Structure 1
Amino acid sequence: MSWIPAFDRFSKQSARFAGRPLAFTAAVAIILAWLVTGPLFRFSDTWQLVINTATTVITFLMVFLIQNTQSRDTEAIQIKLDELIRVTEAASNGLMDLEELDEATLDLYRQRYELLARQARQP
């Protein structure tokens, strides 16, 4: 499974590049170039298909690249939070790995902490 680290690096770099002004500028330049070539190709169906296909494929691939990056970032944040809970004396270690619980159990925790928050706001 040596392709997984390569994919992780590629997805991280792609997501990082996609969020930069240069990527936006490049996308605008490509669209402008496509618009300018419209009269040259007499606004044909093929001319329209080029931009439609390109944007569809890029969007489809970016969904997976960005999801990979977000999943990795979320997992890293959860591990860091678990470590903070572990080393904080007053914290409940039962809150570690909370994201792994089912929805019903999470709702019970949420209700408990909503009650604590309401009590903390009362004078």
Structure 2
Amino acid sequence: MTNQPVTSLLTSIGTLTSRPAAFLVLLVYAVLWAIFDRESLNWHGATTLFTWAMTLFIQRAEHRDTQAIHAKLDEMLRSNSSASNITRIDDEEPEAIEKHRSRRQRND
């Protein structure tokens, strides 16, 4: 059994990292690093910042793609009245969605 507050927090953090503000946090972090510990901002430090930036770019692209898929599915669900029983599943945590999909696959 998963801990609901922890899984909700992790999902929220994942969503927040896809926002433009996450890039601002990275920029502020890099500037503060350069100001307060310039000696350690070498190739290894630059690689760390680059890796963090690429992670944010990937997270943002995946979030955009996921939102586009959800928008398309929402439109299809609205047009099919028999599918109305799953329209709110996107409010669930990933583990709950996986359980729902597993149940549906066993029943099919």
Give me the TM-score of the superposition, normalised by structure 2: 0.49
Larger Rg: 1
- Name the one with the larger helix percent: 2
